[in-house]
Amino acid sequence: MKIELLKGKKPKRFFKSLIFWIALVLALSPFLFIFFWMVLSSLKNQFQNIMYPPLWIFKPTLNNYARVLKETPFLKYFMNSMIIAGGSTLIGLFFGIPASYAIAQFKRKGIALLILILRIAPGIMFLLPCFILFTKLGLIDTYFALIFMHLAISLPVIVWLTISGFEEIPLELKEAAYIDGCSRLGCFWLLELPLNKAYIITAGLISFIFCWNYFIFSLVLSQSNTTTLPVAVFNFVSYETTEWGPLAAASILITLPPTILMMFIHKGFIKSFLTAGIKG
């Protein structure tokens, strides 16, 4: 019966789905156009970049990438970003996971809410006092200061994204473990952590991406030693006569790690935001 119905509507359905796909492409093209232009500019030389009307077809060159990698200490900036984003994410995981387990286990949503409200404050609010403190202690331009500061981003993200994982673990499973003589700590370590691996990895990677992208903290707290990639590329613009090619190449290189990580976790990422509206 159902099949017959569908058969009768076939030409109309095809037409409808064609319209749908056209609408989809039209709706998404503005979002993708920026990336497209980024890549295009990075493959043009300076002369081609300032031509008007803009060139669409040309002989691509990788020269811009070579220049960024050779003429700037790009690798050093990259490592700085790695250390700072990675460090604060690892510390955030170390402190955040037990906390989020405890919040789920003992139903202390209030504490989670407190952390969330803190997160609403503008970043400069945390930065300003820490800047004065670090200046007095001579800690400006150290990894310690930057990792510490970025905890204001990683910790709330990690706590919030892992709570629901711990809540989802069926009570029977835990009770079975307790009856078998497993302590709570043992249950956490042997049962709940492994079961929540996916959640924890997703939260860690999202935290890493957020720290990697965060600009203000590094803009203020880092100087020549600990310059992160966003600050480096920003300085690149301010102090040199702007060349669009290397600029676009550097932008792509910076954006590459978060984008690649996103490929792996987009399902978890989407899921956590799909439920954000319903739960919140």
Partner 1 sequence: MKKFSEFIDKYLLIIFIVPALVLSFLVMIYPMCYTVYLSLFRSLLIKGIQFKFIGLKNYINLFNDKTFLISLLNTFYFFTLSITLHVFIGTSLALLIGRKFKGENLFRGIFILPTVTTPVAAALIWGTMFNPTIGVFNYLLNLVGLPSSLWVCYPSTVIPSLVLVDSWATIPLTTLIIMGGLQSIPQELIEAAKIDGASSFKLFKHIQLPFLRPVIIVAIIFQTIGIIRVFDPVWVITQGGPRYSSMTLNLLAFREAFIFTHMGESAVILMIIFLIIIVLCGILAKFRKVV
Of 53-112, which residues contact partner 1 (CB under 8 A)?
A: 53-54, 95-96, 98-99, 101-103, 105-106, 108, 111
DSSP single-letter state for residue 170: -
Give least dist CB 146 to partner 1, A. 12
Query: Which tokens sit at 210?
Result: 């957020």
Window of 16-24, 71-79, 169-177, 191-199 that interacts with partner 1 by CB under 8 A: 16-24
DSSP single-letter state for residue 54: P
Nearest to 77 by CA among 258, 204, 205, 218: 218
What is the spatial distance between Cα 29 and Cα 32, in angstroms, rounded to a whole number?
5
Nearest to 216 by CA among 113, 120, 146, 119: 146
Query: Which tokens sit at 62?
Result: 């990788």
Please list every residue from 144 through 203 that binds partner 1, using CB under 8 A.
Answer: 148-149, 151-152, 155-156, 159, 183-186, 188
121 binds partner 1 (CB under 8 A): yes
Query: Which tokens sit at 61?
Result: 């060159």
Query: Which tokens sit at 123?
Result: 């970043």
Considering the complex, state which of residue 21 and residue 73 has its C-beta at the smaller distance from partner 1.
21
143 binds partner 1 (CB under 8 A): no
Considering the complex, state which of residue 8 and residue 54 has its C-beta at the smaller distance from partner 1.
54
Give least dist CB 172 to partner 1, A. 19
Q: Count interface residues toward partner 1 (CB under 8 A).
A: 98
- Within 13 Å of residue 2, how many CA atoms lie on the same side as its CB? 0
Considering the complex, state which of residue 41 and residue 89 has its C-beta at the smaller distance from partner 1.
41
